[in-house]
Structure 1
Amino acid sequence: MKSKMGLMMFPLMLSAGQALAANSDEGYYGSAKFLNSEQRASNQDSSSRPSVGQFVERKEKDRQNGAAVAMGYQYGNGWRTEGEYTFRQKAEFTSGSTAFATSDNHLKLKTERLMLNVYRDYDIGYGVSLFGTAGLGVAKVNAGGWQGNTSRQYAASSQNNLAWSLGAGVSYSPVPRLSLDLGYRYLDMGKVESGFNTFGNVRGLKDEQMKARLASSEITLGARYLF
């Protein structure tokens, strides 16, 4: 009887052992991630809007969901690297002035990213590991918007900014070759700016432009499969 039980338990023990050693395997992997992001447009007071009194802070943060996919390589020694593409996200921020209380600027942004990420995994047992990560890449930002009402448009602009990230999280491997990741990362996407105003202002000039510094705090939930 004991012999039969031992034979029945052996595959389970083998599977558990493989899960515990998930980061010791080497090979390519694919990953899909769900993102819950809080983007922040700080330094909106650097916008060009002459002769309108003092800057008034309105909406600096916008929360949205998103998704990313990645392909990477796990080296079997706790290190892995990946290329990650984050699908387009939309956000809107507002700011005002003391001279025109009902004529707020609406900065509308569309962002997508291509990043190279490096991870360091630390096994702590029972299929669980902790990780730290850093990334460097490019954020493509489309910026535009309007002032007061949607007929008063700013010209749209497109720019490619250097982006960097730092983060940490926890992974769990329920079965061999599959890992579930939960993490947090801070992402800086640099300075963004719209084109100049296409509408007429009180000076009759094209001298107004929205500007900000864009960053994101992201909670990531992903599934990773080692081929």
Structure 2
Amino acid sequence: MGKSSKSLFIGALASTLFSGVAFAADYIPPPIVDFEPEFELELGGNLYLRGYVGFTNQEVDRLDNALFSNPVGFEFLSSEFEAGGLAGAAVGYRFNEWFRADISAEYRMRTGYDGLDRYDTTGDGTWDGTNQYTADKSEFLVMANAFVDLGTYHGITPYVGGGIGASYTMIDNLTDTNTPTSSVAYASDNGEWAFAWALHAGLGYEVSDRVTLDFGYRYLDIGDASSGDIIAFGGANNIANPMEFEGITSHDVTFGFRYALGGFGGGHSSGYGHSSY
């Protein structure tokens, strides 16, 4: 290649390189847009803990025993539980601004039971005697609960919900005192599992993005329970005859808190855009 040819080649190459550099210098890359999703299911952000205490107002539909069929006439004059306390805790997950769910474990403290019946053994219309019953009852309750939050107004969020689970109910210290004969029978302690269900309603007050105070009402059905076999004062127990407590229900009032593990309080400041007036 001659000297002039080399000069032309070098000149053409330099021109191409410089034009490319100039073009690159003039090129402006498109802006990078960081799209932030409106809704994210972050595990730590949506998990919450719930703790609560409260009191119970319990009722029983009826008591039944194998020996109740012997008198011709028989009726209960009174049958009631004392009010009692409760304490529980739950682990929950908030799916969106409206829906959350949790699993709870609860101890329902010991409450006393008092009952009184009367009976007519001959059917002549005259009441022949009465039985006075006393017992203690307590429960351990586990529930799976679901809640619907109905919108936040000035930091207050009303909610409704329901739950299903199981109750281990213990009947202890049952005694049966027959007033006319001054005889006493007693039953051994017994505990058993039964299906339980509940309906919830309440208010949440958002203190911060992590803490929500919770005021709740619950209608609870814990099913049936029974004592051990009833044993006569002299030790006789000729028939398997536990006292059956059928249809135990409760009207519960609770006060507690929800603590969001990831700063997700669930009210208008949670990022979900609840209404706030």
TM-score normalised by the chain length of structure 1: 0.79
- Is the aligned partner of 1:179 residue 2:212? yes
| Aligned match of 1:32 | 51
Identical positions, percent: 21
Closer, same or farther: CA 170–88 of 1 in aligned 2, 3 Å: closer
Matched, 1:225 2:243: no
SS at match of 1:49: helix
2:185 paired residue among 126, 138, 152: 152
**Following superposition of structure 1 onto structure 2, how do residues 42-121 of structure 1 map, counting pairs within 5 Å?**
42-44=61-63, 46-50=64-68, 51-52=70-71, 53-99=73-119, 101=129, 103-121=131-149
Q: Which moved more, 1:30-39 or 1:47-56?
A: 47-56
1:96-126: CA deviation from partner (whole Å, max 9, x where unpaired): 3324756412232221101111011122322
Q: Which amino acid aligns with 2:56?
A: S
Determine which structure has the larger strand proportion and give its number: 1
Distance apart, 1:164 and its partner CA: 0.3
Residues 155, 186 of structure 1: alpha-carbon distance in 2 compared, 3 angstrom cutoff = same
Q: How many angstroms does 1:204 deviate by? A: 6.7
* Structure 2 unaligned regions, length at least 5: 1-43, 120-127, 262-277
CA gap 1:204/1:34 in 2 versus in 1, 3 angstroms: closer
Cα separation, partners in 2 of 1:187 and 1:108, compared to 1, 3 Å: same
Contact 1:55 1:95 in 2 (8 A): no
Alpha-carbon distance in 1 for matches of 2:248, 2:149: 29
Bigger relative contact order, structure 1 or 2, given CA contacts below 8 A and separation 6+? 1
When Rg is computed on C-alpha atoms for both structures, the one with the higher figure is 2
1:190 aligns with 2:223: yes
Q: Deviations over 1:150-188 (max 9, x none)?
A: 973212222111100001111110221110111111000
Asked whether the equivalents of residues 42 and 60 of structure 1 are also in contact (C-alpha less than 8 Å), the reply is: no
Instruction: Name the aligned partner's letter for residue 43 of structure 1.
Output: R
Cα 1:125–1:184 change in 2 (3 A) is: same
- Change in Cα spacing, 1:173 to 1:83, as seen in structure 2 (3 Å) is same
The alignment yields a C-alpha RMSD, in angstroms, of 2.6
SS in 1 for 2:239: coil
Judge conservation of contact 2:146–2:163 (CA < 8 Å) in 1: yes
1:109 aligned partner, one-letter code: K
**Structure 1 residue runs of 4+, over 4 Å off?**
99-102
The Cα of 1:200 is off from its aligned counterpart by 4.9
Cα 1:57/1:211, change in 2 over 3 Å: farther
Letter in 2 for 1:120: V
Distance 1:193 1:48, change over 3 A: same
Letter in 1 for 2:95: Y
Partner residue of 2:243 out of 190, 204, 210: 210
How many residue pairs match? The answer is 202
